[in-house]
């Protein structure tokens, strides 16, 4: 069993790294916390300038940095040049010898749904971090003081890591947010929705093609694997999880990924085995098609509600995105449809299923749901950005997310939800201010055994703000 005290060792290790020397190297990866940076990376990848796999976060900097050095800005059109400078600026910051950070957030309530880079899981937080790098090692100690969190913990070390390299592989002990797949609003196998896992991680650094003739067709490839802890499940004991992902790029316009995760427990054995595959295809005129499919292996024999006919082992996400430069501003549009069947993330023995403290480790919309998201992002060359998402969702009685939000778990219901989510960010000197508003309208229908039903509606408005200073 993984030791629950290994982050104490991480604290000591960070102190040692800070004393090892100051030869600066890039931080090992790009984190899953900046939707605007991700849009710029995807734009350069779709245009063929970034040649590696870009659908696995944390995303290794090594391949990105290599490809950026080979780009002549004279080759780029206006929108590609905007993306190039955005990614280059992020790389320059990652190559600083030491980085300190302070971030504070205030939320009127915990987010009803977390998409990519959304991590609003408490009413208030204060985050203090310090990052160290030297020739072969990088480390960050990050302390999060929180109020009103879903798991009632007042502080965590979420976001901390210690990473070192051996040959073409990076080994780390960390608690980093993870996003696997091309989805903009949902990832079926691993997403940033739940609290990051404490665990050990292995990443391939350089994504060079294989020299074996039988594998050369796969092009550049990346692999990652992890093993970690989810949470203690009381009398069921500590819960462990392991996962792996492989990404290949056989053609400049085509990226393919495959993911798998498996949970295990002291008294439960192996369970919740989820396998996924995804594809991203870049088309002319800056249009991209993407899809992810996931299958749950094993039994879904849980107590079903009447009418829960969508019980299935297969979930699907399909989407399309388009980027365009208007003036000096980069704009991205996307449409994404996700269908997750009833009981997909449930477990017939462990009440938590594929979740941490009630939040799904896969799709943020949980299960027994069909969701359509229309998204828009706008970013200027100076860092100001807008993001808007419109969501239309239909959720059934095995959806743990809305059952918890409406306090109707254990009853038969269906919910229609309309949601508008708007974020605005603006840099001030060396700081970044972000303000967000989410409005949702739910129509709740409860079904009874006598074929009668009752219907009610609920309006919800949430506001949030964050301020970040890195130096």
140-184 residue pLDDT tens: 999 999 888 877 778 889 999 999 988 899 999 999 999 999 999
Is 96 exposed, middle or buried, given 0-12, 13-18 or 19+ CB atoms closer than 10 A?
Answer: middle
Measured in residues, the chain has a length of 471
Pick the residue with more confidence: 182 or 267? 182
Q: How confident is the model at residue 28 (pLDDT cuts 50, 70, 90)?
A: confident
SS3 category, 40: helix
Is 75 exposed, middle or buried, given 0-12, 13-18 or 19+ CB atoms closer than 10 A?
Answer: exposed
Q: How confident is the model at residue 236 (pLDDT cuts 50, 70, 90)?
A: low
Helix (H) or strand (E) holding 86: helix 78-94
Helix (H) or strand (E) holding 65: helix 61-69
Pick the residue with more confidence: 288 or 93? 288
Q: What is the mean pLDDT of residues 106-134?
A: 87
Q: Closest Cα partner for 185 from 417, 400, 371, 385? A: 371
Pick the residue with more confidence: 407 or 372? 372
Contact present, 37 and 31 (Cβ < 8 Å): no
Given the structure tokens 């002549």, which residue do they identify? 72
Token pair for residue 177?
């947010």
Given the structure tokens 């939000």, which residue do they identify? 405
Q: How confident is the model at residue 453 (pLDDT cuts 50, 70, 90)?
A: confident
pLDDT of residue 122: 86
Token pair for residue 153?
């913990």
pLDDT of residue 367: 94
What backbone torsions phi and psi does residue 23 show, to the nearest 5 degrees?
Answer: -75, 110
Average pLDDT, the chain: 86
Residues of the chain above pLDDT 70, percent: 89
Pick the residue with more confidence: 245 or 228? 245
pLDDT of residue 307: 43
Q: Closest Cα partner for 34 from 453, 463, 425, 465? A: 425
Q: What is the CA radius of gyration of the chain?
A: 22
Residues of the chain above pLDDT 90, percent: 54
Q: How confident is the model at residue 124 (pLDDT cuts 50, 70, 90)?
A: very high
pLDDT of residue 19: 42
pTM strictly above 0.85: yes
Q: Which residues pair with 374 in a beta bridge?
A: 335, 390
Query: What are the DSSP calls for 269-299, one per residue?
Result: EEEEEEEEEEEEEEETTTEEEEEEEEEEES-
Distance CA 207, CA 140 (A): 25
pLDDT of residue 235: 59
Contact present, 65 and 51 (Cβ < 8 Å): no
276-312 residue pLDDT tens: 999 999 999 889 999 999 998 765 454 444 444 455 7
Pick the residue with more confidence: 430 or 292? 292
Pick the residue with more confidence: 447 or 311? 447
Q: How confident is the model at residue 49 (pLDDT cuts 50, 70, 90)?
A: very high
Q: How confident is the model at residue 404 (pLDDT cuts 50, 70, 90)?
A: confident
Domains and CATH numbers, the chain: 6-470 (2.40.160.130)
pLDDT of residue 16: 47
Distance CA 54, CA 187 (A): 14
CB proximity list for 89: less than 8 A, separation 6 or greater:
none
Distance CA 341, CA 320 (A): 22
Indicate if the pLDDT at residue 96 is higher than 50.
Answer: yes
Highest mean pLDDT among 122-126, 236-240, 286-290: 286-290
């Amino acid at each position: 069993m993984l030791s629950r005290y290994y982050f104490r060792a991480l604290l000591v290790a960070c102190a040692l790294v800070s004393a090892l020397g100051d030869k600066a190297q890039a931080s090992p990866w790009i984190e899953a916390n900046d939707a605007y940076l991700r849009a710029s990376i995807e734009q350069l990848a779709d245009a063929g300038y970034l040649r590696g796999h870009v659908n696995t976060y944390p995303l290794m900097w090594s391949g990105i940095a290599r490809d950026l050095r080979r780009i002549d800005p004279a080759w780029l059109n206006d929108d590609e040049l905007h993306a190039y400078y955005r990614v280059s600026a992020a790389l320059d910051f990652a190559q600083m010898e030491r980085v300190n950070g302070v971030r504070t957030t205030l939320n009127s309530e915990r987010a009803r749904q977390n998409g990519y880079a959304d991590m609003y899981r408490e009413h208030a937080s204060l985050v203090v971090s310090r990052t160290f790098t030297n020739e072969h090692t990088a480390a960050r100690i990050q302390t999060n003081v929180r109020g009103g969190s879903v798991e009632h913990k007042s502080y965590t070390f979420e976001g901390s890591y210690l990473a070192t390299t051996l040959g073409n592989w990076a080994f780390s002990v960390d608690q980093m947010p993870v996003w696997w797949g091309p989805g903009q609003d949902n990832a079926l196998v691993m997403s940033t929705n739940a609290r990051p896992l404490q665990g050990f991680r292995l990443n391939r650094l350089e994504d060079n093609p294989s020299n074996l003739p039988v594998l050369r067709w796969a092009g550049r490839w990346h692999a990652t694997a992890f093993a970690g802890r989810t949470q203690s499940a009381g009398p069921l004991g500590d819960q462990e999880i392991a996962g792996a992902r492989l990404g290949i790029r056989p053609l400049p316009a085509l990226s393919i990924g495959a993911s798998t995760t498996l949970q295990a427990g002291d008294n439960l054995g192996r369970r919740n085995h989820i396998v996924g595959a995804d594809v991203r295809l870049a088309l002319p005129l800056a249009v991209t098609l993407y899809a992810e499919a996931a299958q749950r292996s094993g039994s879904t024999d849980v107590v079903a509600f009447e009418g829960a006919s969508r019980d299935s082992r297969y979930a699907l996400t399909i989407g399309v995105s388009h980027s365009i430069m208007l003036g000096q501003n980069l704009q991205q549009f996307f449409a994404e449809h996700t269908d997750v069947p009833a009981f997909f993330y449930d477990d017939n023995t462990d009440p938590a299923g594929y979740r941490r403290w009630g939040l799904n480790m896969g799709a943020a919309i949980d299960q027994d749901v069909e969701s359509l998201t229309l998204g828009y992002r706008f970013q200027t060359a100076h860092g100001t950005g807008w993001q808007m998402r419109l969501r239309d969702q239909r959720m059934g009685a095995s959806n743990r997310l809305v059952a918890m939000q409406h306090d109707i778990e254990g009853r038969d219901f269906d919910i229609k939800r309309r949601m508008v989510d708007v974020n605005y960010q603006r840099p001030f000197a060396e700081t970044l201010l972000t303000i967000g508003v989410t409005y949702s309208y739910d129509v709740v229908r409860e079904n009874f055994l006598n074929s009668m039903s009752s219907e009610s509606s609920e309006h919800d408005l949430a506001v949030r703000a964050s301020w970040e200073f890195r130096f």
